[in-house]
Amino acid sequence: MNVITKTVQLPDGRTISIETGKVAKQADGAAVLRMGNTVLLATVCAAKEAVPGTDFMPLQVDYREQYSAAGRYPGGFTKREGKANDDEILTSRLVDRVLRPLFPSDYHCEVYVQVMLLSADGVDQPDALAGFAASAALAASDIPIDYPTSEVRVARINGEYVIDPTFEQMKEADMDLMVGATKDNIMMVEGEMNEVSEQDLIGALKAAHEAIKPMCEMQEELSKACGTDVKREYDDEINDEELREQVRKGLTMLAMQRLRVVTTTRNTVRRPTRRLSLTSQRLMMQLIQSCLKTSSKRNMQR
């Protein structure tokens, strides 16, 4: 059992630990995040091959806060966990919003990210840690992703910025922002505030980004320790460069033709506008027909 543990420290001295290699071994990547007595388990699984015809990123993120995390069980007749509530759905969207743009544009395999709250101490807010846990699970896997990410909540309390404040601290906050970022760029900002200036907002974003940078560096170290810094190979999209170049040249010719007509006619005359529209339509139809013929010939050769 090769258990790897990494820790990172928040600006106020609290620590967050990431552990992998102990649970959920059948998943492509798994990470257990601990902050005090708040514990989250993040797992990620991805298909080896894309479904034929898929031209988008089929990513699904599911965040759940179990009753058992607080030592309780659901009431009612069924005594079972129900569907995700509004807060869980919104947290899942926040995680999805940061992760989705960082997958390669030609990667179309199904990816499923599950973040589950295992233990809640009622002090720290677990939704602010979900994005960090999900990215750590991806870092511990060989699923291709461009950069590690993290998310933090930043609040302003008595004029000072606090990263990942507790439930008690949030009662005195006049700013509540969720910020997701990589080591170099901010990816997502969402939240609310009570009549603050632009400089205050910029200061909050800077404080959040400075806190995220060591989290991303820690994930890079985790990926190297797990041996997953080299990601899996994939071939989900076949790009016809010759067809792309043909389309580019055709559109360039169309643009030049339209520009020539516009520059040689007066704006007060209506006929050239109609002639320009007909010319554009003819050129576009010729371009489409030429591309379709080229594509059908190549498909027959294959």
What's the confidence (pLDDT) of residue 49?
87
Per-residue pLDDT tens for 82-108? Answer: 788 899 999 999 999 999 999 988 888
Choice between 112 and 256, residue whose per-residue pLDDT is larger: 112
Phi, psi of 150 (to 5 degrees): -160, 160
What's the confidence (pLDDT) of residue 138?
93
Predicted confidence (pLDDT) at residue 213 exceeds the cutoff of 90 = yes
Per-residue pLDDT tens for 277-292? Answer: 555 666 666 666 666 5
Choice between 1 and 44, residue whose per-residue pLDDT is larger: 44
The sign of the CA dihedral 123, 129, 133, 139 is negative
Helix axes 86-99, 130-139, angle to 10 degrees: 40
Predicted confidence (pLDDT) at residue 161 exceeds the cutoff of 50 = yes
The DSSP-derived string for 48-65 is: SSPPTT--S--EEEEEEE
Q: Give me the mean pLDDT over the 58-68 stretch.
A: 90
CA neighbor of 108 nearest in space, from 241, 239, 237, 231: 237
Choice between 296 and 51, residue whose per-residue pLDDT is larger: 51
What's the confidence (pLDDT) of residue 302?
47
Q: Give me the mean pLDDT over the 18-28 stretch.
A: 91
Q: Give me the mean pLDDT over the 208-225 stretch.
A: 92
